[in-house]
Amino acid sequence: DRRKKIAIVGGGNWGSAIACVVGKTVKKQSDVFQPIISMYCRDSRKPGDTTPSIADTINSTHENSKYLPGRLIPSNVIATTSLLDACTSAHILILVVPHQGIPQICSELNGKLQPGAHAVSLTKGISSSPDGSKMKMRLISEDIEQALGVECSVLMGANLAGEVADGKFCEATIGCKSLKHGEELKMVFDTPNFRIRVTTDFEAVELCGALKNIVACAAGFADGLGWAYNVKSAIIRLGLLETKKFVEHFYPASGTEGHAYFESCGVADLITTCYGGRNRKVAEAFIKSDKPLQHVEKELLNGQSAQGPPTAQDVFEMLEMHEIMARFPIFESVHKIFVGEHCEQNLYDAVRNHPEYD
Ligand code: 13P
């Protein structure tokens, strides 16, 4: 079979929604892609739990009733709890697991993919690697490349999972190193209702996806505190500028044209996440209650996690290490609110006294 095998790693909310898209696109291109998509879903059951695994449920009902209830996953998507069964000999690996799961997955998959395989990451966050006394900024896609020895593109965009699974119109951005892989990935994802644009500005694309989760938390705080629409708009605009500054600082060669910020991964993802995302929701509930963050997540997300708080922490540490905190007051304040070091007034001041006005 010369057709390419596609594997999805991740059975959460976004992994299941993307399975809805890719399950359909491969059926229409069965001369290029193998029609069966394998999907790895971690078995999160505790010992002694006799309820079916998420993978079993998907295979018998075509629904991920835990993380994406009410949506049908196409029947050519076959779920498994075995990472190796899902991915061995895959040509195209779609990684869509929380950041925390990446190292383990990559170490298990090292050497198991097809020669010439490539990956695309839908994971949002930042990484780091030791560099003398400092930690060097690293993209998650770079971690994946290093651990798997394959090229890794990214897909980011204004994509609330439920809407994508429902086939409602949206767009997304693929950031790639080689256009050959970018164009092939466009064939994997592009549908009349999921329009893809490809750019080689991959660092800006990936960082827009990661950092918007921090801005969405600031937007959620603003909602929870009952702040006016104009304030929330300012937070979104200033958050985008902090994102651009972050990219320019750590990847000066990326984003110079500024196109990524006007793609779906930029301004559009920021808007959708600041209005309809889980990060916004969790942040709003967190600031309105005195419950710990884990508590709030548990109540609101049914076992899913919001990536904004851990990304805010990682970004905070990176800014501190590189002594550039003063230019990123919103990123700083979001982290400090989550750890109890900032209050409402500090965030308000971070916005009002933003260095953009100097
Ligand atoms: P959250 O639901 O995790 O906040 O993110 C939404 C999103 O990424 C939309 O593109």
ipTM of the modeled complex: 0.95
pLDDT value of residue 255:
65
Over residues 7-24, the pLDDT tens digits come to 999 999 999 999 999 999
Cα–ligand 1 centroid distance for 160 (angstroms): 6
- 131 pLDDT tier (thresholds 50, 70, 90): confident
Name the token pair of 245.
Answer: 């500054």
Q: What is this structure's pTM?
A: 0.96
Contacts of residue 13, Cβ cutoff 8 Å, sequence gap at least 6: 64, 67, 68, 161, 162, 304
Task: Using alpha carbons, list the distances in angstroms from residue 119 to 6, 26, 234, 298.
Answer: 10, 17, 36, 31
- 334 pLDDT tier (thresholds 50, 70, 90): very high
Cα–ligand 1 centroid distance for 129 (angstroms): 26
- 303 pLDDT tier (thresholds 50, 70, 90): confident
- 330 pLDDT tier (thresholds 50, 70, 90): very high
Pocket test of ligand 1: the residue of 164, 214, 278, 302 to mutate, having most ligand atoms within 8 Å of its CB, is: 278
Cα–ligand 1 centroid distance for 275 (angstroms): 10
Evaluate: CB of 123 within 6 angstroms of ligand 1: no
Contact status, residue 136 vs residue 130, Cβ threshold 8 Å: yes
Give the 3-state secondary structure of residue 85: helix
Over residues 143-171, the pLDDT tens digits come to 999 999 999 999 999 999 999 999 999 99
Over residues 184-229, the pLDDT tens digits come to 999 999 999 999 999 999 999 999 999 999 999 999 999 999 999 9
Q: Look-up: residue for tokens 């980011």?
A: 156
Q: Look at the chain and count its residues.
A: 358
Out of 212, 232, 244, 281, which one is annotated catalytic? Answer: 212
Q: Rounded to 5, what percent of the chain is helix, strand, coil? A: 50, 15, 35
Contact status, residue 120 vs residue 174, Cβ threshold 8 Å: yes
- Mean pLDDT computed over 112-132: 93
- Mean pLDDT computed over 21-32: 96
With pLDDT > 70 as the criterion, what percentage of the chain qualifies? Answer: 99
Nearest CA to 251 among 356, 161, 158, 136? 136
Gap between the terminal Cα atoms of the chain: 61
Contact status, residue 321 vs residue 134, Cβ threshold 8 Å: yes
- 237 pLDDT tier (thresholds 50, 70, 90): very high
